[in-house]
Amino acid sequence: MGVKNEKTPTTFEAFIDKSVKIGKGVKIYPNVYILGDSTIADGVVIYPNTTIENSVIGKNTVIKSSYIENSKVGDDVQIGPFAHLRPNSEIGDGCRIGNFVEIKNSKLGKGTKASHLAYVGDAVIGEDCNIGCGAIFVNYDGKNKNKTIVENHCFIGSNCNVIAPVHIKENSYICAGTTITVDTNKDDFVIGRCRETIKNNRAHNYWGNI
Q: Which domains does the chain have, with CATH numbers?
A: 1-73 (2.160.10.10), 105-191 (2.160.10.10)
Q: What per-residue string of b and e applies to 54-84 under the rule 16 or more CB within 10 Å gives b?
A: bbbbbbebbbbbbbbbbbbbbbbbbbbebbb
Q: How confident is the model at residue 195 (pLDDT cuts 50, 70, 90)?
A: confident
pLDDT at 87 over 70: yes
Per-residue pLDDT, 194? 84
pLDDT, tens digit, 9 for 90 and up, residues 131-176: 999 999 999 999 999 999 999 999 999 999 999 999 999 999 999 9
Q: How confident is the model at residue 8 (pLDDT cuts 50, 70, 90)?
A: very low
Per-residue pLDDT, 2? 45
Across residues 2-31, what is the average pLDDT? 80
3-state secondary structure 81-117: CCCEECCCCEECCCCEEEECCEEECCEECCCCEEEEC
Per-residue pLDDT, 206? 82
Percent of the chain at pLDDT > 90 equals 86
Percent of the chain at pLDDT > 70 equals 93
Per-residue pLDDT, 158? 97
Active site residues: 116
Across residues 80-105, what is the average pLDDT? 98
Q: How confident is the model at residue 207 (pLDDT cuts 50, 70, 90)?
A: confident
Q: How confident is the model at residue 205 (pLDDT cuts 50, 70, 90)?
A: confident
As a whole number, the mean pLDDT across the chain is 93
pLDDT at 188 over 90: yes
Q: How confident is the model at residue 11 (pLDDT cuts 50, 70, 90)?
A: low
Would you say 89 and 74 are in contact if contact means Cβ atoms under 8 Å apart?
no
Which of residues 135 and 13 earns the better pLDDT score?
Answer: 135
Spacing of C-alpha 116 from chain mean position = 8
- The residues, ordered by sequence, that sit 6+ positions from 179 with a Cβ below 8 Å of its Cβ are 160, 161, 163, 192
